[in-house]
Amino acid sequence: MLASPDAQHILIVDDDPLLQSFLEDYLSQHNYNVTFCKQGENMESLLQTTPADLVILDILLPGKDGFYWLDWLKNNHPAVKVIMLSVKNQDIDKIQGLESGAQDYLCKPFNPRELLARINNLLQHTSVSSSVISFGAFRFDTAKKVLTKDDKIIKLTNAELVFLSYLCKKHNQLVTRDDLSHALRGSTHNPLDRSIDVHINRLRGKIENDPSTPRYIRTIWGKGYLFQCNE
């Protein structure tokens, strides 16, 4: 049974082909979309095109180990949940993984129902709270379209509200000027419209401590913008 197209996406980073085949079938039956890669270096490009809700990350990988890639995930995709998966059964490895930012740790061999239960616990919680995006002291309710800082409402123009809504929807993903223009103007959009940058700069002025060195809305030169949050 294939997962529905809008099902949550799990990326599994592990070089065991038997485990890959089994988990793809098992998790798909429970309505998860599953992607695999054999090493962390492949994960970088995959996450640019196919964002994941959760990464299952083996410690023992070809090249750089899972702890390196856990740190990379926390710095580059902080909203992604991580379960460490390893043959290592020592407390120090579990502690290192959890202290480094993983949400869970499971030792091989494992019961697939236990893995599924851990995945469900992490992603169901994410689904319930997904209408509110957090970044620093800010909270943006994507359902009510309200931005607050320390519980005080921040007033936004219509364009700023459209852009923040779209950036939150696509958080931790590259967003082009064409994407933003289409979100604001629909079929009449113009990707060369320089007012896009003006609206983004005004929005930065309301959410960035230093708009000249943005923390949340980063410019990816020649490509567009990347909105990073700590959802």
Domain of 80, CATH number, reads 3.40.50.2300
Residues 212 and 180 in one domain: yes
Is 142 a domain residue? yes
Q: How many domains does the chain have?
A: 2
190: CATH: 1.10.10.10
3: in domain: no
Say if residues 204 and 214 touch (Cβ distance below 8 Å): yes
> Do 145 and 41 share a structural domain?
no
Of 97, 129, 161, the position where a domain reaches its end is: 129
CB 227 within 8 A of CB 175: yes
Q: Residue 190 forms beta bridges with which residues? A: none
Q: Per-residue pLDDT for the chain (231 aa), expressed as one digit of tens each?
A: 456 556 789 999 999 989 988 999 999 999 899 999 999 999 888 887 778 889 999 999 999 999 999 998 888 777 788 999 888 767 787 788 888 888 999 998 899 999 999 999 888 755 444 578 888 889 888 877 889 988 788 999 988 988 999 998 888 889 988 888 888 877 666 656 678 889 999 999 999 999 999 999 999 988 889 998 764
Say if residue 63 is in the same domain as residue 144.
no
- Could you tell me if 39 and 87 lie in one domain? yes
Within this chain, do residues 123 and 173 fall inside the same structural domain, yes or no?
A: no
- pTM for this one? 0.57
Q: Which domain does 205 fall in, by range?
A: 132-227
Shared domain for 150 and 79, answered yes or no, is: no
Locate 8 and state its tokens: 């949550």
Which 3 state secondary structure label does DSSP give 76? Answer: helix
